[in-house]
Amino acid sequence: MTLLKAYLRGLREGWFVLGYTLCVCLSVFILAPFLMIALRSVGKGWFGKLWLPPQLTWDWYRWAIEVGNIPEVMKNTLIIGVIAVAVSTVIGIFAGWAFGRRQLPGKELLMAIVLLPRMIPPITYALGVAKIFYTLELVDTHLGVALAHVSVCAPFAILVLSATFEGLDERVLEAASVCGANTVKRFFYVVLPLIMPGILASMLFSFTHSYNEFTLTLLTYGPNTVTLPVRTYLAVGDGYWEITSAMAVIMVVPSLAILAMIQRRAKPEKLVGGFKGV
């Protein structure tokens, strides 16, 4: 009997060890590529069967910044990201208010329609967007690329902000009215502070999507609107792995900063979500 108990306990601890091993393996699986990139970007003369680069150098970063024109590219990426975030947040606030707080006939259907772009591979409508932007001469302008990004960011903003507005408690607003606040005051002093976390989360997610967006950018960019993902792709095509790695490191730093903010402020489920009601 004791033998059986010991066996069972061993089995349980075995499972525990197995689970722990899985976690460690996963971390290696996720992180090793980044380590490889980081080492590649500072290594020199790293050939053959060596675990680590024999010499260290900052040359690749200098090359990336000078030849790859990273400051200009970074500026483009930020301008496009800010426009895309602003437009999709405004759309999200309005639509979120309508979805979350007002009587809407056929709400489910409307929501499904608004979320439809998330269900179709972006390349299918990217073709049409590019065609339209060519005729409107929006290709190779910051506004054009940002508008293309909005088609990806807006559904997210709408989703996050609808949930935020739905969570707003009616009684709090009534209390504010009872205390004598007019509509404007009520909005700025009561509603806005309450929905601020939702707006911030929506902005964070929109920016992440705009920053990472590759498909739509590739079909609408031009020489003046090269963004970081496109620049990295072009560098991969050139075949200089060290310089590409340096660019990748520069690009990944803001992503990790955003990751830290998401981890602290918002639930990661929202980054994924959007299909519960469909």
The answer for residues whose C-beta is within 8 angstroms of residue 108's C-beta and 6 or more apart is 277
Exactly one of 74, 86, 97, 240 binds another protein (CB under 8 A); that residue is 97
Smallest distance, another protein to C-beta of residue 172, A: 21
Report the C-alpha dihedral over residues 210, 146, 152, 196, rounded to 10 degrees: 70
Each residue 145-164 as x (binds another protein by CB under 8 A) or -, in order, gives --xx-xx--x---x------
HSE-CB of 86 using CA atoms within 13 angstroms: 8
Radius of gyration of the chain (CA): 24
Where is 44: in which H helix or E strand?
Answer: strand 43-44
263 binds another protein (CB under 8 A): yes
Cβ-contact 37, 232 below 8 angstroms: no
36 binds another protein (CB under 8 A): yes
- Mapped onto helix, strand or coil, the DSSP state of residue 1 is coil
222 binds another protein (CB under 8 A): no
Cβ-contact 232, 213 below 8 angstroms: no
Smallest distance, another protein to C-beta of residue 22, A: 6
Q: Name residues contacting another protein, limited to 39-78 (CB under 8 A).
A: 40, 47-49, 51
Exactly one of 74, 132, 143, 200 binds another protein (CB under 8 A); that residue is 132
31 binds another protein (CB under 8 A): yes
Cβ count within 10 A of residue 162? 22
Report the C-alpha dihedral over residues 42, 46, 52, 53, rounded to 10 degrees: -40
131 binds another protein (CB under 8 A): yes
Exactly one of 7, 94, 188, 189 binds another protein (CB under 8 A); that residue is 94
Smallest distance, another protein to C-beta of residue 105, A: 5
Phi and psi, residue 81, nearest 5°: -60, -45
CA distance 232 to 230: 5
Cβ count within 10 A of residue 89? 22
Each residue 167-206 as x (binds another protein by CB under 8 A) or -, in order, gives ----------------------------------------
Smallest distance, another protein to C-beta of residue 190, A: 19
Q: Of 60-68, 121-129, 168-176, 189-197, which segment contacts another protein by CB under 8 A?
A: 121-129
262 binds another protein (CB under 8 A): yes
Cβ-contact 162, 99 below 8 angstroms: yes
Smallest distance, another protein to C-beta of residue 25, A: 10
Exactly one of 206, 208, 210, 220 binds another protein (CB under 8 A); that residue is 208
